[in-house]
Structure 1
Amino acid sequence: MTGSPEQPLRVFVADDHALFRSGLRTLIGTQPDLVCVGEAADGREAVDAIARSRPDVAVLDVRMPRLDGLGATEAVLAAPGNRTRVLVLTTYDSDEYVYRAIRAGASGFLLKSLPPEELVAAIRIAARGDALIDPSVTRRHIGRFATSLAPPPEPPELSRLTGREREVLLLLAEAHSNAEIARRLHVGEETVKTHVSRILAKLGLRDRIHAVVYAHLNGLVRDRG
């Protein structure tokens, strides 16, 4: 789903810091294609309010009382019929936070230090069904976790990928955006999007976050050197 002034994307905000919550609500209000449909100061309140308001995207802080943002993410995404995408925000880039967010199915794990325009862009990206992690988090934590494991045999489903699709997968694993991949491969962004869609379908992966994790855990990035 993409927002427009006529049908803006519905966004929900949850953070226990009133000042940050207010700032994020104000930022969303400056965008013609976004509208804030609710807010909460703790995770339990957020889960209940999201179930009622059914926003397109929920932006949840990791550290909240009663139920933290990761627990709230798990509850929201496990609800029957849920269509809300979740972005997890934090001032910390702990391994545990990243892995729990990924396992829960979050559409993004981002640091609060992200510039406002990039946060707004992340909301739009999540709403259209794509996923992202702050590149520094991807490179540092997923890569470190993967290199601590013994490299497994190459999964048989990798043989379904063409040479170009495998190259795109490796670039995804290095946290490059579609635009960056397009420049590196000297192709258009739409071509890259097509490759990514085919990679996900052939490997049975939910989104680009899981493609990144898949490539690291299967030793593809280490093979690249």
Structure 2
Amino acid sequence: MSNTFIIMALPNALSEIFQCIDQKQDEFIERFNEAISVSANAEKSQDTTGVIEWVDKLLKSLGFFTELKNVEVVKLDGAIHSTSVIFGSSAAGHCPNKSTILIYCHFGFTGIQKEDELGNHLQNNNFYGNGILDLSSIIAWLNTIEVFETSKIDKPVNIKFIISPKETESNTGLSNLLISEKDCFLESKECPPGERNMAVMKK
């Protein structure tokens, strides 16, 4: 008894997306390398401002309206300092006919010990550094949005972002901020959490 396989053509939109990803592969790798460099430089001063500003600028370039919200963080030694959390939503506005997903991402310092140039974060087609996975999730989402924009394909959902330094998750500052936004930024009743934010959103 012979097996019969049916080969179906990809939808045009999906083909365009894959083609765009292939065309932008080098650009996306360079973007990730740049993000690692910004994070590694920030590690030296333990200052997350550079990373926040870099991500904020990229979000705006992709058509998002962003706000930087201040959060107080208490360190292990008891010292208190302020950092920023990015709240981002589409500048084109909310489409009532689409569901809304909330994407929460956090980042830590990449811990790159090398003093070398950008290219040395990439060896044998692999990236190295503590916190790479967290940083890569942010870049992957932004690259995905850019592909849709470049291909002029309508996104099937409304998208909102909350992006914060990892240190905020163990402090009450972020929880208090989310509670204060429940009737504003987080008012969408159909806004399920995406990415790695289940524990944070339960707070």
Q: By the TM > 0.5 criterion, same fold?
A: no
Q: Report the structure, 1 or 2, having the larger helix content.
A: 1
Give the TM-score of the pair, scaled to structure 2.
Answer: 0.31
Q: Report the structure, 1 or 2, having the larger strand content.
A: 2
Give the TM-score of the pair, scaled to structure 1.
Answer: 0.29
Structure with the larger RCO, 1 or 2 (CA within 8 Å, 6+ apart):
2
